Structure 1
């Protein structure tokens, strides 16, 4: 457990190259980018592996400029009271465009065709004749009128589904955890699959957009392939581990799966027949990197200045309009009477509470309390110390 008081100048450290448009958000009084700082207030990161990184007592937040947080020790951060942010949806358009591009290109055998044509170099005047004679081996199929199954209808999946409809595909979606916001953005012409087995059975193409969990790991396997149509195309731009690669290799060999398009190539994938390995380009656009950096920086800045939390993977998302009043924030165990003990500590200094919010997430909760009165500077460390002594408090600070 530790107590943190917000410093006048808040230091931000980056562990990867972060787009300049994102870093410009910290170009104001009260913030400083310092990549040599050993104990910053916040860290911005992309793919840097932080599992062996030691965290200073002053570290309050880590923001991943991207969606996945596998490179961050989230459980350890939670135990130390460090909020971990990600940027869901910031790279959604980039991934959507690549999914649809590869869906069309693979259906038309474009990748194999281009590779074959390139191999004709040196044939001189014979190239046009060779092309006309050889193009029949790359006859493909159109996606119009085919059924696309979309597993996971979050920011990316919803965009893919909507734009596939614009390409005259029939679209069926499955997501038992769809949010209200996503539902509003999803076209009503996307058919709802009642079970994932229904989607498997009805789809000519399947694209997956779900996180890697114990339930989703290896979800594409011999058993699920047996439900699918022959020659189904599977697109994986989420996580390589969603696919049982041994079963996929067999399914590609026997034609049960027509093609496997994946953004996560490895030695196994490169040996597969009819696999299309993409070099992890899903979010690799200038616009996507900038969007992720801007979103991550804004979330960190908002948290350091007001205590508000949006898009955290380990803290509850909490927002309380910031009016400039003194604000007490505390991250603590989600046990009875925590809020009562915190408010008692505040009232013991004859301070009135103007507003408050408390949200829980699993074993932990986050409380923000605005105080009507301006807290005397001498009182701040004493109040922080008193709250810190409450059993179950992980971290507290006064803004």
Structure 2
């Protein structure tokens, strides 16, 4: 029996994954794992029994990742589960902004109370909202992950010329990318040649403020920028200056703040990127499935703090060890197994930065699991160990 502490309202289909047997999900004691969406875990006491935390969403700002990593707690997110929802909102915003739809709707709503004069005013006023078509225009996609590849492919299907920049594109994504998509070797190539830019990169120390004065100066005048990734990717002071100089004709973002709401030519959407019923279900199912796989097999998929590891079960028992990525860790673990006269059926070790994860399948059952775990935990650098 595994106990799963659930915060927020998790889609029923996600919880149903845990109803398949051996789980108690809800407000539980001695939780083995935590499943949440937006709950602020920074302000929550996390019991030492917790082995994993899964967020039904991509961002993990509400989770104390560094603290949990030091304790050997695996943190999962659900990249790609909301990709279609975000893609549809990006393409809708791109077309709507090109046709001046947002400003036009605001103006139309201002005609309330004009009575029979409304049709005449509409016909005389629509000339102020003449837009442009996206067909034949050039779109630059910065970041070709789960969302970026969908945006790029569908924009090409709409008749746009699409240029993509991503120095870290995965093999899986490369296979999905349409052959019509052109490759940019630098961000400047996108800035200088495109009519629209949409960003789909994570927020890191390297990407924070990546659209700054230098980037805006390299852009074609009249650029429209779409940001449905993270607000901090754009330096807002430099953005204001770029708008005033008419370098940026429009900035469409899913991350409003008071500063942006006071800028001209900014369309601020209230963080609706993943706000669809389908996306919530996909995220919940994916998060619950990843927790279930980890608890039952030790395999890790889509962890933000530890390496992805998948190894089919090949023995009677499995030893899992989370530890620092330092020399002789595997040797010490296998040395203990040798001293205990336990034969190894299979083994895998993977690392991610300063951390590593080792799976060891054992040929036989273990009579003294607690003693074995105690010996492994005594190795300097080990953060967590368990036998499945």
Same fold (TM over 0.5): yes
Q: Give the match's secondary structure for 1:51.
A: helix
Match of 2:330 among 330, 339, 342: 339
Query: RCO higher in 1 or 2 (8 Å CA, sep ≥ 6)?
Result: 1
> Could you tell me how far apart the structure 2 residues matched to 1:235 and 1:389 are?
51
> Could you tell me how far apart the structure 2 residues matched to 1:330 and 1:339 are?
10
Shift of 1:254: 2.8
Q: Do the aligned residues in 1 keep the contact of 2:314 with 2:346 (CA within 8 Å)?
A: no
Shift of 1:218: 1.1
2:23 paired with 1:34: no
Normalised to the residue count of structure 2, the TM-score between the two structures is 0.98
Shift of 1:29: 2.5
**Aligned position for 1:392:** 381
Q: Do the aligned residues in 2 keep the contact of 1:83 with 1:312 (CA within 8 Å)?
A: yes
Q: Give the match's secondary structure for 1:357.
A: strand
Shift of 1:225: 0.8
Q: Do the aligned residues in 2 keep the contact of 1:39 with 1:55 (CA within 8 Å)?
A: no
Q: What per-residue deviation string (whole Å, max 9, x for no partner) do you get for residues 107-148 of structure 1?
A: 000011111111111111111100000000000011110000
Shift of 1:53: 2.5
> Could you tell me how far apart the structure 1 residues matched to 2:21 and 2:153 are?
43
- Runs of 4+ aligned residues of structure 1 deviating over 4 Å after TM superposition are none
Shift of 1:324: 6.1
Q: Give the match's secondary structure for 2:42.
A: coil
Q: Give the match's secondary structure for 1:289.
A: helix
> Could you tell me how far apart the structure 1 residues matched to 2:6 and 2:82 are?
19
> Could you tell me how far apart the structure 1 residues matched to 2:218 and 2:290 are?
43
How many positions carry a matched residue from both structures?
A: 388
**Aligned position for 2:351:** 360
2:293 paired with 1:299: no
Task: Describe how 1:90-239 pairs up with structure 2 within 5 A.
Answer: 90-239=81-230
Normalised to the residue count of structure 1, the TM-score between the two structures is 0.95
Match of 2:341 among 325, 350, 353: 350
Match of 2:69 among 78, 81, 84: 78
- Note the residue ranges of structure 2 that are not aligned, 5 or more in a row: none
Q: What per-residue deviation string (whole Å, max 9, x for no partner) do you get for residues 188-245 of structure 1?
A: 1111001111111001000000011111111112221111011100000001111111
Q: What per-residue deviation string (whole Å, max 9, x for no partner) do you get for residues 128-180 of structure 1?
A: 10000000000001111000000000000000000000000000000001000
- Note the residue ranges of structure 1 that are not aligned, 5 or more in a row: 1-8
